[in-house]
Structure 1
Amino acid sequence: MWDFATPYVAVLLPLPFLVMWLARPDARVAGALKVPGTVVGGAAETSTAGRPGRRLHLWAWIAWIALLAALAGPRTVLPASALPTTGRDLMVALDLSGSMERRDFALDGAVARRLDVVRTLGARFVRGRAGDRVGLVVYADRAFVAAEPSYDVEAVAQAFDSAAIGLAGRSTAIGEGLGLALRRLADAPGRSRVAVLLSDGANNAGAALPKDVARLAKQIGVRVHTIAMGPKETTEVQGYDPDVVDAEALKAIADISGGRFFRVRATEDLKQAMDAIDEIEPTRTLAPAAPLWRELWPWPAALALFAAAMSVLARRRAG
């Protein structure tokens, strides 16, 4: 299937005839001087030879028609499938504190760091969010945006893959991480907005209190799903233990904001949590395919340029 972007350009096709009609000689002007042929001699032959021939007119018309064809913008429609879209913004806030280095999870049958498991499953989760605008915030002592919200889920997944301990310190500023995610989501009012907060510790850095940030999330309409990762939690140990997750605080964040809380003690639990979030926040609805055009105007434009050059060459030879 093909058409023209600006077909109305075709009305200019008879323009040369109009110009020739308006520029024709005035019949009222008469008078001539008869000169014997012996006087004119070779001058008559020269003047006759200098008149543009049929070839000159032919090249001029080809150039004109090809130029109009180029201006009309010929194009063909390329095949395109329906595009997945959801109208949802989703920010992931990932804990990069020092405890994420602990080797108490399994990946592909081998003992692995918590971070390696999160990077692998998190990247897979993000790649499955086609249609969402996804971003990534990482936090420890402080928080920063590792990937701005984008429909390019592959780029965000690569940011997941490159997450490393020490980029933002080694403490756990849960409030700061969630707060930064909310700031990015606040830029898109009118859309469905979701945050996924993953932590394996307790809030011990930053000025923002997690519950206060959760109330802000509810106020601006952002659902926060929280994932508490780690074998032990604060309510299960006596005294101070740096290797515990504050599951109670993470559950409160989810409850306040209207999200879901997930307790992850092993790799399989994390898989199930991410699958559950996919079900809670469905990803794909097909939108009408956007037409993709292949522009063909360079071909008639090139022909017009060639014909114009040949017309000039023919005129010079006639002269």
Structure 2
Amino acid sequence: MGHLRLGQPFFLLLTALLPLLFWARSRRKSSAWLLPFSGRWKPKRKTGSGKMAIFCAYAGLVLAIIALARPLEERGIFRIPREGYDILLVLDLSGSMLAEDYERGGRTVSRFEAVQGVVKSFLEKRVGDRIGLVAFSGRAYTVSPLTFDHRWLDRQIDRLEVGMIEDGTAIGDAVGLALTRLAGKQAKEAEKRKGKFLILLTDGGNNCGALSPDEAIDLAMQKRIPIFTIGAGRLGEANSSLFEDGGQNAANEMSPSDLDEELLQRMAKQTGGRYFRALDEGTIREAFAAIDAEKKVAFSDRPGLLTDDLYPYFLAPALLLWGLALFLARRRLLA
């Protein structure tokens, strides 16, 4: 049993009105308030059920006042982090991400399957960070804004599918959208954060979109937001899926890797990030582990008090007592 206290103790002042209520009620020739139907009771007729009804009504009122005072049980101290990073993940969902050139447990898996699992593991390690997600192929869209709810974000990642957006690789648009999400926070809120950065993972080169990669780089440099880039996929040809308009899978064929390493290296270097080459699932994990280690915060936190609200344990009996008072009042009238 923890320490007990009241969250709103000034509500206990209402108990001072109870004697006044009792006195005012006793001065009336007929009881017209506090209990339903009591206005029609005969004032001189006092029975056990009548006295019990009045007692239940007053007792319920006392319990309701205690509930308003919000009794709390203190369970202990926990730490509230005051610093952390704002992170935007930018994931490629183009058709080439279905190329099965990675291995896991002796079987081949697609690039998207490998990336999906690694990203979810990364989320578990970034306690205290706000993380958002932008997915892209022929266009970019926000899957999740910055959030502390990593479990919810994990479920959104599970819903991602290659082919859900028209095919293509709009790297510039995706980075531009992610930068607007990172830079759109209020200044006062941003002061509490350690910093911001962006993680871009793709297996292709920019081939569509309104914003060019160079314009996206300039935007990141203006906002001083580093971009960590990860190039996925093995060198050479891989079995890839082709998509018709609307994202429907049409056929499979062997296609060469079109990863633009020069662009990803330049994007990372000019913005203050790092470039990683992910030839297999293991090196994808190593890339995210390196980013995690480089951008880790030793939290400057403050203590917080963990409490449990106990008001339901008083409010529920109060309602029951009022219900009993109503029942006894009606019973007396019908007697």
Partners of 1:203 and 1:54 in 2: CA distance: 84
Partners of 2:214 and 2:315 in 1: CA distance: 65
After the TM superposition, which residues 109-124 of structure 1 pair with which residues of structure 2 at under 5 Å, given as runs?
Answer: 109-124=106-121
One of 166, 169, 184 as aligned partner of 1:187? 184
Alpha-carbon RMSD across the aligned residues, in angstroms, is 3.3
Partners of 2:25 and 2:153 in 1: CA distance: 66
1:197 aligns with 2:211: no
Name 2:259's counterpart in structure 1. Answer: 245
Contact 2:60 2:317 in 1 (8 A): yes
The structural deviation recorded for 1:84 is 5.3
The structural deviation recorded for 1:225 is 0.5
Residue range with higher mean Cα deviation, 148-157 or 288-297: 288-297
Name 2:311's counterpart in structure 1. Answer: 297
1:73-118 superposed Cα distances (whole Å, 9 cap, x missing partner): 2232345743556432111111122222222222223222222211
Contact 1:123 1:157 in 2 (8 A): yes
1:211 aligns with 2:214: yes
Return the structure number with greater strand share: 2
Amino acid of the residue matched to residue 124 of structure 1?
S
The structural deviation recorded for 1:284 is 6.3
Structure (1 or 2) with the larger CA radius of gyration: 1
The structural deviation recorded for 1:251 is 0.9
Q: How many residues align?
A: 292
3-state SS of the aligned residue for 1:244?
coil
1:41-66 superposed Cα distances (whole Å, 9 cap, x missing partner): xxxxx986559997677556534433
1:211-264 superposed Cα distances (whole Å, 9 cap, x missing partner): 22111112112111111223339xxxxxxx851311111111111111111122
One of 91, 104, 108 as aligned partner of 2:105? 108
Name 1:5's counterpart in structure 2. Answer: 7
One of 130, 134, 138 as aligned partner of 2:135? 138
Partners of 1:161 and 1:19 in 2: CA distance: 61
Partners of 1:23 and 1:166 in 2: CA distance: 74
The alpha-carbon distance between structure 1 residues 50 and 228, as it changes in their structure 2 partners (threshold 3 A), is closer
TM-score by length of structure 2 reads 0.74
Contact 1:93 1:197 in 2 (8 A): yes
Residue range with higher mean Cα deviation, 157-166 or 142-151: 157-166
The structural deviation recorded for 1:277 is 0.3
Partners of 1:251 and 1:276 in 2: CA distance: 16
Contact 2:94 2:162 in 1 (8 A): yes
Q: Which consecutive residues of structure 1, in runs of 5 or more, have no partner in the other structure?
A: 26-45, 234-240
The structural deviation recorded for 1:200 is 1.2
Residue range with higher mean Cα deviation, 210-219 or 125-134: 125-134
Amino acid of the residue matched to residue 285 of structure 2?
K
Q: Which consecutive residues of structure 2, in runs of 5 or more, have no partner in the other structure?
A: 28-41, 237-254
3-state SS of the aligned residue for 1:115?
helix
Amino acid of the residue matched to residue 11 of structure 2?
V
Partners of 1:273 and 1:99 in 2: CA distance: 20
The alpha-carbon distance between structure 1 residues 54 and 223, as it changes in their structure 2 partners (threshold 3 A), is same
Amino acid of the residue matched to residue 266 of structure 1?
D
Amino acid of the residue matched to residue 177 of structure 2?
L
Contact 1:224 1:259 in 2 (8 A): yes
The structural deviation recorded for 1:23 is 9.2
The structural deviation recorded for 1:282 is 0.8
The alpha-carbon distance between structure 1 residues 83 and 107, as it changes in their structure 2 partners (threshold 3 A), is farther
Contact 1:83 1:289 in 2 (8 A): yes
After the TM superposition, which residues 1-319 of structure 1 pair with which residues of structure 2 at under 5 Å, given as runs?
Answer: 1-18=3-20, 50=46, 58-59=55-56, 61-78=58-75, 81-83=78-80, 86-188=83-185, 189=187, 190=190, 191=193, 192-232=195-235, 242-282=256-296, 285=299, 287-288=301-302, 290-308=304-322, 313=328
Partners of 1:139 and 1:243 in 2: CA distance: 18
The structural deviation recorded for 1:12 is 3.3
Identity of paired residues, percent? Answer: 31
Partners of 1:286 and 1:60 in 2: CA distance: 51
The structural deviation recorded for 1:143 is 1.0
3-state SS of the aligned residue for 2:155?
helix
The structural deviation recorded for 1:155 is 2.6
The alpha-carbon distance between structure 1 residues 311 and 180, as it changes in their structure 2 partners (threshold 3 A), is closer
The alpha-carbon distance between structure 1 residues 94 and 299, as it changes in their structure 2 partners (threshold 3 A), is closer
Contact 1:224 1:253 in 2 (8 A): yes
1:255-279 superposed Cα distances (whole Å, 9 cap, x missing partner): 1111111122232221211100001
The structural deviation recorded for 1:293 is 3.8
Partners of 1:116 and 1:247 in 2: CA distance: 22
The alpha-carbon distance between structure 1 residues 72 and 50, as it changes in their structure 2 partners (threshold 3 A), is same
The alpha-carbon distance between structure 1 residues 220 and 18, as it changes in their structure 2 partners (threshold 3 A), is same
